[in-house]
Homo-oligomer: A and B are copies of this chain.
């Protein structure tokens, strides 16, 4: 038994592997080497092999990895080989957008409930899902065995919604609001606040004094 704690960096690469593998599968590629994956992803092949090796022996020496088999295995590792119900709070444009991904999603994660606090939103239908009032949240989370919550409400309401998710027994939160949320230790929280990506992107713009030497230190 390999009880080694898997690092976050490794886990965050798994979905990327899955993405390339799916592309390869769509192009009916049967087999792929860590070398080839490395080229596609700009990653060191040794790193890819090591990442996968944390979870088992999925390749064949001299041959490479069977694409479909590896897809299956990574889906198992990520636990998306089983249905995972997801709730979404905040039926704005962003909420709408995320619900649409449902249609194209090839894995078993599905948004199965949408909540909003605003009376104007309640009852409208997004992708066959009726928007429910926040009061229904605790009941529906339990009833549908929802384990992940997505937050797409404005920043000032985000902490409040997070609390309600936690209270209702959710295990993980994907937060799109530009706010720093406090949750109990056992709750996993991933931030998807795009303003962060955008700001860090700006850093790398060439300036009069570009990123490398824009320091004010002399």
Contacts and interface: CB of A to CB of B under 8 A. Distances in A.
Interface of A: 1-3, 5-6, 11-12, 14-16, 18-20, 23, 40-41, 54-57, 73, 76-80, 84, 86, 92-94, 96-98, 100-101, 105, 107, 109, 147-148, 150, 171-174, 176, 178-180, 188, 190, 192, 194-207, 211-218
A203 B217 CA distance: 42
A192 B195 contact: no
Contact of A212 (B3, B150, B171, B216): B3
Nearest to A217: B2
B174 A194 contact: yes
24 contacts: A2-B217, A3-B212, A5-B212, A14-B199, A14-B203, A15-B199, A19-B180, A20-B180, A54-B215, A56-B215, A76-B216, A77-B214, A78-B199, A79-B205, A79-B207, A80-B199, A80-B202, A92-B97, A93-B100, A147-B205, A148-B205, A172-B204, A174-B197, A188-B201
A interface, by DSSP: helix, strand, loop or mixed? mixed
Given A1-B218, A180-B41, A203-B77, A192 B197 contact: yes
Number of copies: 2
Which 4 A/B pairs are nearest by Cβ-Cβ distance?
A93-B97, A94-B97, A15-B199, A15-B196
A200 B100 contact: no
A171 B2 contact: no
A180 B65 CA distance: 20
Contacts of A206: 171
A107 B196 CA distance: 12
Contact of A172 (B5, B56, B201): B201
